[in-house]
Amino acid sequence: MIEFSSQNDFVLDDEERVEKWLKGIALKESYGIDSLSYVFCSDDFLLDINKRFLDHDTLTDIVTFDYTENKILNGEIYISTDRVADNAEQFKVSFNTELLRVISHGLLHMCGYGDKTEEEKKKMRAMEDECLILWNV
């Protein structure tokens, strides 16, 4: 089950298509999905989570709490729509493209992809690009 909710006024378009896309990504990575919760929120809301749970005092576009076991995805993914909008402008892409990139980023973390080293970041970006291609197929 994949759930989408908002702590701000954001409304995700075409939830059914996004859910099907995420299930396809998980399957491609040989994972099943038990329960994923995507929560769209403001910078302030996510900054509070970042401070309280991760001891980070920085703005971020996503925080993922991963409870995955035995190739079955379980977790909570918080996404700042404020950061997504700013990043879309900075990277000169549409809001929707950046949102899909971030949505897939959280799932990819849960599938074992990291982004701490330059090599991991490069692989993560390549995987995000593959996910965006799957969206457009």
CA distance 16 to 20: 6
Contact call for residues 78 and 46 (beta carbons, < 8 A): yes
CA dihedral sign, ordered 114, 120, 125, 131: negative
Q: Per the annotation, does 9 bind a ligand? A: no
Question: Distances from the Cα of 125 to the Cαs of 15, 57, 85, 120, in angstroms?
Answer: 24, 24, 18, 9
Q: Per the annotation, does 56 bind a ligand? A: no
Contact call for residues 122 and 112 (beta carbons, < 8 A): no
Q: Which segments are annotated as binding site for Zn(2+)?
A: 105, 109, 115
Q: Could you tell me which residues are annotated as the binding site?
A: 105, 109, 115
